Amino acid sequence: MFYELYIRSFCDGNGDGIGDLVGAEQKLDYLAGLGIEGIWLLPILQSPAYHGYSVTDFFSINPIYGNLKELRSFLASAHRRDLKVILDLPINHTSPSHEWFLRALDGERPYRDWYLFLQNEDWLKARRHWDGEKVWTNYSGQWAYTLFGPGSPDLNYESTSLWQQMKEVLTFWLSVGFDGFRFDAAKHIFDFSIEKGICEYQHSRNIAFWKEMTSHCRSISPDSIFVSEVWDDARIVDLYSAIFGIGFNFPLAEDLKSAIAKKDPELLVISLKTDLNRCFRAKRSYESGLFLTNHDMSRLVSSMNGDRELSLLSMSVLLSLPGVPFFYYGEELGMEGVYNMYFNEEQLEPFLWYENGYGPGQTEWKALGKNHPHSGVSYEAQEAVDDSYYMRFRAILEFRKSNPWLRFATIKSVKRKETLIMLKVTGESKSANILHNLGTKKIAVDLNADVQVINGTVSKYRNKRYLGALSSAMEVTE
């Protein structure tokens, strides 16, 4: 299991109100106590943007987060706790303030070749794939390709010297101590056709690029971990994920949340059969990156319209499935936040350590719009209450931690009986039946004595066992 960590909002180690590496290191025992095995660190490279995805120096840490010595200390401390750490590395584009881009505007080589500048006036007609927005930006009379907006001019990997430069970037961060990378916008390396003058994904060229980059990393660190962000249909996701080893399962995240929010068991069955089709095979070319939310999505409780029982059921279903689970910081508290593409700060709010909103380590870099002090959502308010959202969420994580065989399990069948979903799964060491009740009433189930409650309740009455409303359980069969 991986914990997606937005360091700015997590823990402040120097008292300036902004989360940093020193603060994050102080909370590693907390993270290890959740049962996670890895940390996905959102961008920490030097950048003018709060999100860090527009880089000004690929070899430097944003000074508000700390320095190289503090990063090495954080990584070493994580490794002592058997935690892997992967860096979110956005190499598709840079900030317009990056020295490379400034020198490119001056016409200096090779930097001029590292960005795509307008060569044909007809190219200005090109529009972005998903929303029809313009993709060219005028910088003092020079038009550059900017798929993700004026603050992010795209790098031009038509230049072979840029490939070598990026290998040096990867080498550097592996040498610092990272265990691998989450690669942002993996399908966008080649997404503009110079021949046609339109936005067009060139998947074969992208895959050739990533094969070379991942092979380079593995030549340095054979056990490197790679996770790809490819938001597309299953066929395209398969192509990329086979190269990286882990691919985020975006369709499953959306379909699973929709099915649970609607309490629709048939929709959930369809989702599992469709989005996890490869998990019905014993041999798989990659692992499914299981998640429900991330920094580009509304938080889980908000997705469930504030219903925390449905949120916990969603996590129960997710963590019963084959693959590598990822969950977003603060979801264990039931934090809320609605994603807005043009103002995406609400789901990035400070992790609330204290009920009054203040105390050692509490970040205060932005106002709390959703997760207010004295609302009961804080870690302080929940960690000592047995049936709090946090404690129940943590129990679901403990279930997954105690059943590592599920990661590589094969789904043998998915069936439905009224509101009950039944999965039969088999791993190398054991097999099990996993049950999820999407109904609002308890339901009689055929379970033996060897039952693990994932979430909710399992009760017994007159020699019959009942799975509670919105509850999940697993019966080990062999």
pLDDT above 70 (res 344): no
CA distances to 15, 117, 198, 205 from 125, in Å: 49, 14, 8, 24
| Nearest CA among 469, 439, 441 for reference residue 456 | 469
Same domain, 362 and 305: yes
Same domain, 121 and 255: no
Sorted by sequence, the CB contacts under 8 Å of residue 377 that are 6+ apart come out as 333, 334, 335, 336, 352, 371, 389
Q: Identify the domain boundary among 367, 401, 435.
A: 401
In a domain, 154, yes or no: no
Taking only the tens place, the pLDDT of each residue in 418-448 is 999 999 999 988 999 999 999 999 999 988 7
Q: How far apart are CA 388 and CA 333, in angstroms?
A: 9
Q: What is the pLDDT of residue 282?
A: 80
Same domain, 266 and 344: yes
In a domain, 452, yes or no: yes
In a domain, 56, yes or no: yes
Same domain, 103 and 199: no
- Amino acid, single-letter form, for residue 426: T
For residues 247, 248, 251, 252, the Cα torsion angle rounded to the nearest 10 degrees is 100
If one compares 143 and 233, the residue with the highest pLDDT of the two is 143
In a domain, 350, yes or no: yes
Terminal-to-terminal C-alpha distance of the chain: 25
Range of the domain at 116: 99-145
| Nearest CA among 447, 407, 401, 452 for reference residue 425 | 407
Q: How far apart are CA 234 and CA 239, in angstroms?
A: 9
Q: What average pLDDT does range 393-406 have in this prediction?
A: 97
| CA pseudo-torsion sign 138, 142, 145, 148 | negative
Same domain, 133 and 82: no
Same domain, 304 and 420: no
Q: Identify the domain boundary among 342, 367, 401.
A: 401
| CATH at 29 | 3.20.20.80
In a domain, 151, yes or no: no
Task: Please provide residue 314's backbone torsions phi and psi, each rounded to the nearest 5 degrees.
Answer: -60, -45
Among residues 88, 191, 229, 349, the one annotated as catalytic is: 229
Taking only the tens place, the pLDDT of each residue in 180-225 is 999 999 999 999 999 999 999 999 999 999 999 999 999 999 999 9
| CATH at 458 | 2.60.40.1180
pLDDT above 90 (res 342): no
- Amino acid, single-letter form, for residue 283: K
Q: Per the structure, how many domains does the chain have?
A: 3
In a domain, 155, yes or no: no
Task: Enter the tokens of residue 295.
Answer: 């920094």
Among residues 4, 12, 154, 184, the one annotated as catalytic is: 184
Same domain, 392 and 419: no
Q: Which residues pair with 117 in a beta bridge?
A: 144
- Amino acid, single-letter form, for residue 6: Y
3-state secondary structure of 237: helix
pLDDT above 70 (res 47): yes
Tell me the average pLDDT of the chain: 95
If one compares 36 and 237, the residue with the highest pLDDT of the two is 36
Same domain, 417 and 341: no
pLDDT above 90 (res 130): no
Q: How far apart are CA 459 and CA 465, in angstroms?
A: 6
Instruction: Judge whether 238 counts as a catalytic residue.
Output: no
Same domain, 217 and 360: yes
CA distances to 6, 71, 174, 206 from 169, in Å: 21, 16, 9, 18
Task: Enter the tokens of residue 131.
Answer: 């929303």
Taking only the tens place, the pLDDT of each residue in 280-334 is 888 888 999 999 999 999 999 999 999 999 999 999 999 999 999 999 999 999 9
Same domain, 338 and 216: yes
Locate the DSSP E strands across 270-359: 287-290, 324-328
Q: How far apart are CA 272 and CA 277, in angstroms?
A: 7
For residues 440, 444, 446, 452, the Cα torsion angle rounded to the nearest 10 degrees is 50
In a domain, 152, yes or no: no
Q: What average pLDDT does range 119-140 have in this prediction?
A: 95
In a domain, 153, yes or no: no
Please state, for a pLDDT cut of 70, what percent of the chain lies above it. 100
Cα R_g (the chain), whole angstroms? 23
Judge contact between 472 and 456, C-beta under 8 A: yes
Instruction: Judge whether 331 counts as a catalytic residue.
Output: no
Q: What average pLDDT does range 146-175 have in this prediction?
A: 97
Same domain, 228 and 359: yes
Q: Identify the domain boundary among 339, 369, 401.
A: 401
Q: What average pLDDT does range 86-114 have in this prediction?
A: 98
Q: How far apart are CA 319 and CA 454, in angstroms?
A: 9
Same domain, 354 and 304: yes
Q: What is the pLDDT of residue 207?
A: 96
